[in-house]
Structure 1
């Protein structure tokens, strides 16, 4: 009997009690299905503060012969509710009503309050093959006007959606949205024959293997004619050393180095570009953390506020690059747009194999 036969033939509660995410994955179950089974295991089997209500739910589900699909549907309906107490109350009510899947679904729809209306928002997806997806939720009249303006002159014999892209972009550019101008920043790896000695004011003092010392700015002047460009110096273990340009504005330099180190928010799967991020102290300012480049990273507004929330994980520096550390201690880099300075300068052919010194 394979996994899917057991879902149909075994008792739902027996299947849930013996659920293994690894086994389900190896059996080829869809990720959404695995998440649903995992959630049922959490509700009916895992440790909880409400053991009595959990036992009562198990008894009702077993006695009334609910299937795994029926139990999963109940949990989908209950998911929007923020109150665990209300979820538990409605779960027990639904488990008292054995019926067909469709009848139970209609009952759940009547009992569970409707989801709140969507609020205006705009989201931007990840880049893929040079394209990105934007989702916009806005007042219906405004979007109706936008759609009407973009739909003028479309060919009715061709698909509508692809034709709307060009007119919408023309409306955007005509509305004054400027094209982003890339800011060239030359990344210079600090040779391992040099050693970081100390910070001296706005400069970094470097020790060379010939027994002499120099500043980072002098080192770059020897190897790179500026010609109006900017250059940043990075150490293979300690990360950004300093940024040199005609005007030495420490705050600007620190922000630029932090952005060069992480081109997007470093929290896994976040796509917020560093230009739209905030500067975050790895060691909090209130805890004595300094506003030095070796303590600064970029974080999007949301993750900057979630970083110190207990149980949500936090950003640390590993090998000079920011990575997210989970509540259980796992260090996970953001796999999206992995072209930060440390990866670009000091990784092998496969950035995913990089193991920074100090990790």
Structure 2
């Protein structure tokens, strides 16, 4: 505490100029404000200041006190730990105090999925302790936790279950791979995954699967008969893009909506040439100020930036047949 008291009248720059590391300078000034600055808890401040803790321990105590919403509890914590000589014991009592008095965080149950630009994905599940504990049993290899979890999960329970998705591989890519003219092509899937052809067959086509070859831009035209696209139109849309068509969005097609490029309310048709995948957010903000808009340019889905300019091609170009 005597070292903290030496900061009286000094600024951050003064401490740094005297050789105190920048991070420590901030900590020292904050500790000075707590133990020597003005407060309505003057009696508790005097009692808490009668300690021999290091700056490191005092900083950890402050981090704990800041987690307590009640200021009285914060000063009670400081006073109780002031008389503890052992740093290890002080930290143990700190954890026990916080466990007893820190407000319980209200956690909402559910699933949160984050799609990363490099193709990886993070999934976070919050549920009952029993449900999560059951899921934890699927991780039986600590050296490969994700791989073992997926292997056990996709093996099915007593009822069994499988995972299906739409994998899009274009004919020229498939022929080049079969002829050994290039490396095994990566197949983009509607669930956001990207796998090679062997993995596609093993993961999604082991039990059942089908192959559809598309050369036409629009296999089905529903005009104004239905607003929602048909299954075949969803397949065709995925052949053009396996994710949301906004270039800065990475949400997979299976989590997106079929967007009418010319709005339905403005007479847009439910035809494949007028449909494109947009996630719920991008669909609701498409065309709004600062968001740009989706168009079809020369037969290909494209995006016009917010400030205008040439359309930027998005997804895969589907060659129309004469």
Q: How would you bin the TM-score normalised by the shorter chain?
A: 0.3 to 0.5
Q: Which has the larger radius of gyration?
A: 2
Q: What TM-score comes out, normalization by structure 2 length?
A: 0.43
